[in-house]
Amino acid sequence: MHSLSHKPYWLWLLVLGLLLAVLSFTWQARAQTSSPNALVLNIEGAIGPATKDYFERGLRNAREQGSEVVVVELDTPGGLVDTTRDIIRETLNSDLPVVMYVSPSGARAASAGTYLLYGSHVAAMAPSTHMGSATPVQLGGGGLTGGTDDEGENAEGESEGDGSAMERKVLEDAVSFIRSLAERHGRNADWAEEAVREAVNLTANQALEQNVINVIARDIDDLLAQIDGMTVVMEGGEHTLATADLAIERYDPDWRTQLLTLVTNPNIAYFLMIIGFYGLIFELSSPGSLFPGTIGVICLLLALFAFQVLPINYAGLALMVVGMALMIGEAFMPSFGVLGAGGIVAFVLGSVMLMDAEHLAISLPLIGGVALVSGGLMLWTLTRFATLRKSPVHSGAEELIGATAIALEDFATHGHVRLHGERWNAVSDAPVKQGDELEVMRLEGLTVFVTPR
């Protein structure tokens, strides 16, 4: 009993206090997250794989904290077809209302942004913003990009039958898609079709007048006040919004989104592939250095991940690989520039073909710079080989021919000489005295044939 009276009761009290503090913190956190709020996302720039990942995580976060509505501030020139369709599919099947809001003033919802507006439960724009140019540009990777006047003329020509069968299929598919979105949410389907076929645009006021959007709002607070009580079409039926006096909580892109955006940038992915390829080559040419190989493997894996989610042209990728292989072949098997020149041509053509969506294409100056560097390395290699061919031999039996040997003794025909610090058997075509300098004429086994200088 004496030992029980000395138990550290203060330790148990400390544990109990910590447990109560944790429970109190958890309860407060749940109380805060359970309060109604509007979760605000921000999508800026071209629509790509990183945008989709960010949007999906934003919806998941909104569900977990019990948000009433998700507001997406939108400013985009366009993006990828598949990614845009994925985001719209997530929006249509969401159990939370999604509001696409073109903001701030001066922003745009071109091409892919127009589709996102039509696919949202509520479409809104800030003053001095515009939308439209929804003609799909499906070159090789496929992109929904903001159209110029030339693109609009091409789109119109394609609709009249002047384009290829594939172009017409892409155009008609886009028209059907955006009309279905317009009909679902009761918006202007005729203008939507015109935006796809002729790449037309609307300002915010024009969009409201033509029933393309629902509201024009100065800011998020004004937006939430205007859409309060609005009835929207959800997957499970109609839903009335209750957005008055909602707390605004922002869910800005985090480091993961920023990293994914960086890696999936076509120029970065292209550069990572080049670094990875040359890193492996340097490692294989000098095994054991580890550093080039490690960096090369990491960069190549990152590039392959980016290519997996980007709309790459595999013919272009194959041309790039063949081009780099030919340039490396020129370094190891000099062909007076034939392999190298062919490699540079294949590499440049493959780089141009690799990704050709307008907002997800590789920069031509970057392609030219890499080609110039590769050409410079190839030229340096050829010059190096030419110099080595002209330089005297510094090793092997050939290096001994013409070398100077010193006679170690007097002899008439057979004796011994010192050559490069070593004792050799020698055969001379004339009598030799000790200390004479002799020139090596040829070598047979361990015997050198010499003649007096």
Q: What confidence tens digit (pLDDT) does each residue in 386-413 have? A: 665 555 555 556 667 878 888 988 888 8
Instruction: For residues 54 and 158, state if they share a domain.
Output: yes
Instruction: For residues 438 and 325, state if they share a domain.
Output: no
Instruction: For residues 304 and 225, state if they share a domain.
Output: no
32 pLDDT tier (thresholds 50, 70, 90): very low
| Of residues 430 and 155, more confidently modeled | 430
60 pLDDT tier (thresholds 50, 70, 90): very high
As given in the structure block, the two tokens for residue 453 are 């200088």
| Of residues 208 and 134, more confidently modeled | 208
Domain coverage including residue 446: 397-452
Domain boundary among the residues 256, 279, 294 is at: 256
Instruction: For residues 78 and 200, state if they share a domain.
Output: yes
> Which CATH number do you get for residue 182?
3.90.226.10
Instruction: For residues 221 and 367, state if they share a domain.
Output: no
- Positive/negative CA dihedral, 316, 259, 45, 118: positive
Beta-bridge mates of residue 247: 37
The total of structural domains in the chain comes to 3
Mean pLDDT value across residues 148-171 = 54
Instruction: For residues 188 and 43, state if they share a domain.
Output: yes
Q: How far apart are CA 430 and CA 122, in angstroms?
A: 108
Q: Is the pLDDT of residue 360 over 70?
A: no
174 pLDDT tier (thresholds 50, 70, 90): very high
Mean pLDDT value across residues 107-115 = 94
Tell me if 408 is assigned to some domain: yes
| 11, 205, 223 from 371: Cα distances, Å | 70, 49, 51
Q: How far apart are CA 380 and CA 268, in angstroms?
A: 27
Instruction: For residues 287 and 408, state if they share a domain.
Output: no
Give the residue among 303, 330, 331 at the shortest CA–CA distance from 317: 303
Q: Is the pLDDT of residue 428 over 70?
A: yes
Q: How far apart are CA 118 and CA 198, in angstroms?
A: 17
What pLDDT was estimated at residue 404?
A: 85
Q: Quick check: bond before 452 cis, omega within 30? A: no
As given in the structure block, the two tokens for residue 372 are 């110039």
| Of residues 212 and 377, more confidently modeled | 212
Domain boundary among the residues 211, 227, 256 is at: 256
Give me the helices (H) in 333-442, please.
Answer: 338-354, 364-390, 397-400
Could you say which DSSP state residue 236 is in?
Answer: T
Tell me if 240 is assigned to some domain: yes
Instruction: For residues 55 and 191, state if they share a domain.
Output: yes
Q: Are strands 69-75 and 37-44 parallel, antiparallel or unpaired?
A: parallel
Tell me if 251 is assigned to some domain: yes
| Of residues 300 and 150, more confidently modeled | 300
> What is the per-residue pLDDT across 318-346, written as a single tens digit (0 to 9) for each?
888 888 788 777 666 666 667 777 888 88
210 pLDDT tier (thresholds 50, 70, 90): very high
Tell me if 269 is assigned to some domain: yes
HSE on the CB side for 279, CA within 13 Å?
18
313 pLDDT tier (thresholds 50, 70, 90): confident
Domain boundary among the residues 340, 375, 390 is at: 390
Lowest mean pLDDT among 46-55, 234-243, 438-447: 438-447
Tell me if 323 is assigned to some domain: yes
Tell me if 304 is assigned to some domain: yes
Tell me if 441 is assigned to some domain: yes
Q: Are strands 356-357 and 414-419 parallel, antiparallel or unpaired?
A: unpaired
Mean pLDDT of the chain: 81
Q: What is the secondary structure of 290-320 as a DSSP string?
A: -HHHHHHHHHHHHHHHHHHHS---HHHHHHH
Q: Is the pLDDT of residue 415 over 50?
A: yes
Tell me if 22 is assigned to some domain: no
| Of residues 45 and 19, more confidently modeled | 45
189 pLDDT tier (thresholds 50, 70, 90): very high
Q: How far apart are CA 288 and CA 71, in angstroms?
A: 54
Lowest mean pLDDT among 120-129, 175-184, 290-299: 290-299
Sequence letter at residue 151: E
Q: How far apart are CA 321 and CA 273, in angstroms?
A: 10
Instruction: For residues 137 and 217, state if they share a domain.
Output: yes
> What is the per-residue pLDDT across 130-146, written as a single tens digit (0 to 9) for each?
999 888 875 334 445 44
Instruction: For residues 77 and 172, state if they share a domain.
Output: yes
Three-class secondary structure of residue 453 per DSSP: coil
CB atoms within 10 A of CB 82: 17
Total number of residues shown for the chain: 453
With tokens 């092997």, the residue in question is: 396
Instruction: For residues 206 and 188, state if they share a domain.
Output: yes
Instruction: For residues 77 and 59, state if they share a domain.
Output: yes
Question: pTM for the whole thing?
Answer: 0.66
Could you say which DSSP state residue 69 is in?
Answer: E
